[in-house]
Homo-oligomer: A and B are copies of this chain.
Amino acid sequence: MKKDKILLAHGSGGKMSHNLIREIFMKYFSNATLEAETDSAILEGRPGWLAFTTDSYVVSPLFFAGGDIGSLAVCGTINDLSVSGAQPVAISASFILEEGLPLEVLERIVRSMAAASVKAGVPVVTGDTKVVEHGKCDQVFINTAGVGWIKPEYRDISYGNKIRPGDKIILNGPVGDHGVTILAARESLDVSSDIRTDSAPLNALIRSVLEAGIDVHFMRDPTRGGLATVMCEIAGKNKLGIDLRENELPVKETVKNICEVFGYDPLYLANEGKVVMIVPENQAEKAIAVLRSHEDGKEACIIGDITHNHPGKVVMKTEIGGSRIVDMLAGEQLPRIC
């Protein structure tokens, strides 16, 4: 086996692990906390509230239009912290590598992670690498965990207990782009260039809305399970009804068309750069104005309301004037989307 591939010894904890850390991870993720090479990263504490989250990424293929497993892993964890009302401060990166993986593939992924980390202003401060025998994993799996600080006034956003009937449901742009991008990459579809993952760090966007004084009642990122699943979670947990309006729901034409051909519903497709915000009715327009001033919120719009009616249920008013119950994703649509 050539030297330019991952060997089991890269996961030994010995010399080759140290070389890999120096030549790839330290090279791209350079920051003082990581370079201290302490057993745990050491960060400044703060009074108030600490948000802590984790996600593993197993997306297939590793590279797709507009992103890759690396940028996804960085943005996903930053977004999980951000929708909790936290300002993300640091993330970890833990790799499970398949023996034989070309080092250049790993380097390309790490470079992309570093770029996403710089863009978001959230450093990778600690990590781990394991190597398994050829055939025992699928090239690369990445786990990122993250920590962030929540100001006391934003602490309740996570719990959903502020949601009230009459609140407006806002989305920062069209749904389904990420799901269709992965589908297109797998099926080698020759789709138009507007289909690329929406994967993006949303910390700055969300922070702008909070700092504008919008009393955000709840936020969540509609990733796996799509918008439908998030809506059902909110309705179910809070015993409130949700009305969505199909004609207000932003979906790109290309996404609609591909969904029709393959029999998917964009409502269930994963997104990686979207946030659902629930805000008081009288602040909805202001929230949309703030969102639209950002690159990742240009197409922000109101997609529905919280209602007293049909508690626990999500109802979609269809374009042709009817209505249907929206349920959580049953079964599996597109495995390994993230």
Interface set of A (CB-CB < 8 Å, partner B) = 7-9, 11-18, 36-58, 80-81, 83-84, 86, 90, 92-96, 125-128, 130-133, 135-138, 141, 143, 145-150, 155, 158-159, 220-221, 223-226, 229, 237, 268, 270, 328-333, 335-336, 338
Evaluate whether A9 and B331 lie within 8 angstroms (CB atoms) in the complex, with A41-B52, A138-B136 already known. yes
B residues less than 8 Å from A53 (CB atoms): 39-41, 92, 126
B residues less than 8 Å from A49 (CB atoms): 42-45
Q: What separation, in Å, do the CA atoms of A131 and B329 have in the docked complex? A: 16
B residues less than 8 Å from A130 (CB atoms): 56-58, 141, 336, 338
In the complex the two chains form, is A43's CB within 8 Å of B54's CB?
Answer: no
Counting every copy of the chain, the complex holds 2
In the complex the two chains form, is A11's CB within 8 Å of B335's CB?
Answer: yes
Q: What separation, in Å, do the CA atoms of A237 and B39 have in the docked complex? A: 13
Task: Name the residue among A38, A40, A96, A135 with the largest chain B CB count within 10 angstroms.
Answer: A40
Known: A16-B332, A55-B94. 12 other contacts (CB 8 A): A7-B332, A14-B328, A14-B329, A15-B329, A52-B92, A54-B126, A54-B127, A56-B95, A56-B143, A58-B137, A132-B138, A143-B143
B residues less than 8 Å from A226 (CB atoms): 13
Q: Closest approach, in angstroms, between the C-beta of A161 and any C-beta of chain B?
A: 10
Q: List 23 A-B contacts (CB under 8 A).
A: A7-B332, A11-B224, A11-B335, A12-B225, A12-B332, A13-B225, A15-B331, A36-B158, A39-B53, A39-B83, A40-B81, A44-B49, A46-B47, A50-B50, A52-B126, A54-B92, A55-B128, A56-B94, A56-B130, A96-B141, A130-B336, A133-B335, A143-B143
B residues less than 8 Å from A132 (CB atoms): 58, 138, 335-336
In the complex the two chains form, is A54's CB within 8 Å of B335's CB?
Answer: no
